[in-house]
Chains A and B, each alone.
Chain A
């Protein structure tokens, strides 16, 4: 069964979870034998931007030594065989160019999203 995970909510609990919760969920379920594709859209396309860096967070004497690394997590998911798409128009609207994105993520036009949904047995919109 092919499942399309659409991630649209950006940076949801990311600092506390040290992950994007749905990229993480997809990674674990892929490891459990699931057949997944990911589509990021809206503000969540920023999960695939290589230059992001949220290190340096500290509270009093406590310092976060393992900040979220969403671009790296995205690349790991691609390495595991998960196709990751992003909506090209959403990237353009935010001033992001293809070269800003993690290598291997694939642009898809807004018009093609319906076909992508149709190519999957279940569509989970997070």
Chain B
């Protein structure tokens, strides 16, 4: 394995709106598989990415029920990446911006997600090899 890095991602987009969220999750998955330590700071609508009350729905256009559809829920993808990191013994720290959570009522996140502030983003960045921002456009 290449040298282990610590990478921070700052993200803004909510789930189910743009491909940027999918791109983020793919980058996280690849980085964790390669053994890197990961920090994520979820800002604005991105605090809904690990929202625990997300529910799968059927897809009538495909004629499949929710189970058959295997509907993508970002909370499940994040949990899967977290599990990979845990098995690999690498760090995976997801911080939801607390004020962003409050104004959206998004206070029920999956286990492993913690509440924080922009000071956490600063600290994460200072302790990282690099930071990638994926902002809303």
Chain A positions within 8 Å of B, measured between CB atoms, are: 1, 3, 9, 12-13, 21-22, 25, 28-29, 32-34, 122, 124-126
Contact of B44 among A3, A13, A122 (CB under 8 A): A13
Contact of A28 among B44, B117, B130, B135 (CB under 8 A): B117
Show 23 residue pairs from A and B whose CB-CB distance is below 8 angstroms, ordered by the A residue: A3-B131, A9-B136, A9-B137, A12-B136, A13-B44, A13-B136, A21-B43, A25-B118, A25-B121, A28-B117, A28-B118, A29-B118, A32-B119, A33-B122, A34-B122, A122-B125, A122-B130, A122-B131, A124-B10, A124-B131, A125-B135, A126-B12, A126-B135
Whether A32 and B133, one on each chain, are in contact in the complex, defined by CB atoms closer than 8 angstroms, is: no
Chain B positions within 8 Å of A, measured between CB atoms, are: 10, 12, 43-44, 117-119, 121-122, 125-126, 130-131, 133, 135-137
How far does the Cβ of B46 sit from chain A's closest Cβ, in whole Å? 11
Whether A21 and B125, one on each chain, are in contact in the complex, defined by CB atoms closer than 8 angstroms, is: no
Beyond contacts A21-B43, A124-B10: 7 other A-B pairs, Cβ-Cβ < 8 A, are A9-B137, A28-B117, A28-B119, A29-B122, A122-B131, A125-B133, A126-B135
Q: Which residues of B contact A32 (CB under 8 A)?
A: 118-119, 122
Provided the pairs A3-B125, A32-B119, A32-B122 are in contact, do residues A124 and B44 lie with their beta carbons within 8 angstroms? no
Q: Which residues of B contact A124 (CB under 8 A)?
A: 10, 131, 133
Q: Which residues of B contact A25 (CB under 8 A)?
A: 43, 118, 121
Taking CB as reference atom, which chain B residue is nearest A27?
Answer: B118
How far does the Cβ of A34 sit from chain B's closest Cβ, in whole Å? 5
Taking CB as reference atom, which chain B residue is nearest A6?
Answer: B133
CB-CB nearest 5 A-B residue pairs: A32-B119, A126-B135, A28-B118, A124-B133, A29-B122
Taking CB as reference atom, which chain A residue is nearest B44?
Answer: A21
Bound CA–CA A42/B131 (angstroms): 22
Residue from B43, B126, B135, B137 with most neighbouring chain A CB atoms (10 Å)? B135
Q: Which residues of B contact A3 (CB under 8 A)?
A: 125, 131
Q: Which residues of B contact A33 (CB under 8 A)?
A: 122
Whether B126 and A1, one on each chain, are in contact in the complex, defined by CB atoms closer than 8 angstroms, is: yes
Bound CA–CA A32/B122 (angstroms): 8
